[in-house]
Structure 1
Amino acid sequence: MAVLTTCSSGSDSTTQDTDDGGLVVSHVHGLGIDPADGRLYVATHEGVIAVSDTGKANRVGDTADYMGFTVVGPKTFLGSGHPAEGTDDHGNRGLIQSTDSGRTWKTLSLGCSTDFHSLKYAHHTVYGYDSTRGVLRVSTDRTTWDTRAELAALDIAVSPKDPDLVPATTEDGVARSTDGGRTFGTGSGQVLAFLSWPAADALYGINLSGGLHRSTDSGATWKKAGTVPGGQPQALTALDGRHVLAATQDGVYESRDGGRTFTEHLPVSSTGGH
């Protein structure tokens, strides 16, 4: 275990809540619903966006690039990424946390050194895929980290029943770890981009063309559940066995019936971002 201190530059991010009716979202990196207000929050290349039930979109904080993103409790979000363009801050932001629904953020650990492209919270533990080094990191206190397996992955998930069962998406298919991410098997089967595992019998994955798949046996077999409109996926979060959020290259969509039908909540521009 190692403790890394945050760098002095960019450790805190403070802005006012703004009503930006003309905002354009070019790339989505994460999705979640805040239990405090039931609103959809979208982590993007241009900041965190709150979307109301009527479809009104509000930028709630700054215009930084939020990469890994997850809602862990009422008003409490974890994230990672890069400072806003045009600021004096440089580098990666490590693990950052907001306790006011994305309005302000503070770096908790790994500041200036790590960019998490995937963050999952399960069993009171943060699992993060560190894209800067291609390794899985795990923390129980959000400050000290255990560095585990090295692998080339786009996304990870964690079993809601077993903290040691961690699948990851690779170019060869889904690779599985049965020891908490210390080692991974070879990728096989479905080639998926993103994963979300809200219930023991509901592991969701989305492929590169927007096909949504569900596994009821921890990823051993998959069945297509539906297709998310808009083509290439950008993010996936399932809240339970039927409630699914997904972002593609042209929009953020929600399904309440396990992926059979989808409703658009926020348009996404197909140009810009990364």
Structure 2
Amino acid sequence: MAARPGGVHVRRALVLAALASAFAACGGDGGEPAKDAAPPRAPSDRLVDLKKKPPLVNTLDIDPATNDFLLTTNRGFFRISADGKTVTPVKGTIHDAGKTATVGTFLELRASGPNQLLGSGHPDKLGTLPNFLGLIRSDDGGKTWSAVARMADADLHKIILRHGKLYAFDAVLSAMLISPDGGKTFEEAFTPRGLIIDFEVDPADENRIVASTDTELFRTEDGGESWRPLAPADGIRLAWPDAKTLYRATKDGTFSVSTDGGTRWEDVGKVGGEPYEIHAVGPQRAFVALSDGSIIETQDGGKTWRDRFRP
């Protein structure tokens, strides 16, 4: 691999011109009609500015210390109690090179421990710090943040901690970043085409990644060196809680499961709105954040859903 400044290694995936025709030969999903659809709901603008362009919701995670929901939207960062009754805005600040900026409105985050968060995004007000915050870290639940790596150079749209590694998609390079040391150094695996909407890493294989764009679903078996198309996609959201359970949710609310890493899918239910984030905690239990910040839960693998929080 060719070295880049700052300990970064580059792995450029070979994306063949024949990829499109290979995709066409893959055929359909073979799924079954969805059942037990959740009822439609009127969206709320309490936590989300519905008039702005997507993304409306950036992150749904759970604090391992309190079981609070951690929700970030285009209105800010909100801590929601596990019972859904209390919403607490989190006003964060980041300090770097003698400068300070508030963060929260344009924030991607991932819980890495009790009150410990890794994040990325943009300062709330431009001109205070660079527009791209790179990888940042908080040890107090998001009140204060410090720079970890790639300040001014990276805009991470998703962060996954798995197999002792940090995986992220950088929208600046349109590359998958993989770090074995918490963000000190990275390898770059270039993605097949277009902006990655979501991605997940196989819990049983650190090199197997499924990624969605606004048109297609792809999988790599070699950590990003090469990719193959799996199915059409329209902003699909993903979660991979165990090796035999890969979830996806489409814009129309269809919730599906794959037991073979994304080759074949079965439609199992409807979420009753447009899904923006899936947080799965097991092969049967998952939470979904809808476009207005509502949070719903399934305990039967997506067949039925119940409200956990409505703004």
Q: Same fold (TM over 0.5)?
A: yes
Which deviates the most, 125-134 or 45-54? 45-54
Q: What amino acid is the match of 1:128?
A: A
Paired amino acid for 1:39:
D
Instruction: Flag the 1:197–1:266 CA change in 2: closer, same or farther, 3 A.
Output: same
- The answer to whether 1:147 aligns with 2:188 is yes
Equivalent residues, number: 251
Aligned to 2:287: 245
Q: Which aligned pairs between 1:117-266 and structure 2 lie closer than 5 A?
A: 117-141=157-181, 142-151=183-192, 152=194, 153-188=196-231, 191=234, 193-230=236-273, 232-250=274-292, 251-266=294-309
Question: Residue 188 of structure 1 aligns to a residue in which SS?
Answer: strand
Q: Are the aligned partners of 2:130 and 2:151 in contact in 1 as well (CA < 8 Å)?
A: no
Distance 2:215 2:245 in 1: 22
2:129 is matched with 89
In the TM superposition, structure 1's runs of 4+ consecutive aligned residues that sit over 4 Å from their partners are 1-5, 189-192
Structure 1, unaligned runs of 5 or more: 6-21, 269-274
Q: Is the 8 A contact 2:72 2:104 kept in 1?
A: no
Contact 1:233 1:247 in 2 (8 A): yes
Equivalent residue in structure 1 for 2:69, among 24, 35, 40: 40
Deviations 1:170-203 (A, max 9, x none): 2443200001122211342565521111111111
22-31 or 126-135: bigger deviation? 22-31
RCO (CA 8 Å, sep 6+): is it higher in 1 or 2?
2
Which protein shows a greater Rg? 2
Q: Percent identity?
A: 28
The RMSD of aligned alpha carbons is: 2.3
Q: 1:3 to 1:265 in 2, by over 3 A?
A: farther
Contact map agreement 1:64 1:85 (CA 8 A) in 2: no
Q: Is the 8 A contact 1:193 1:205 kept in 2?
A: yes
Secondary structure, counterpart of 2:78 in structure 1: strand
Distance 1:118 1:259 in 2: 23
1:59 aligned onto 2:59: no
Report the CA distance between 1:2 and its aligned residue.
4.4
1:76 Cα shift? 2.1
1:31-68 deviation digits (Å, cap 9, x = unpaired): 11111111111122233211111421111233523443
1:24 pairs with 2:47: yes
Contact 1:166 1:177 survives alignment (8 Å)? yes
- TM-score normalised over the length of structure 1: 0.83
Change over 3 Å in CA distance of 1:129–1:54 after alignment to 2: closer
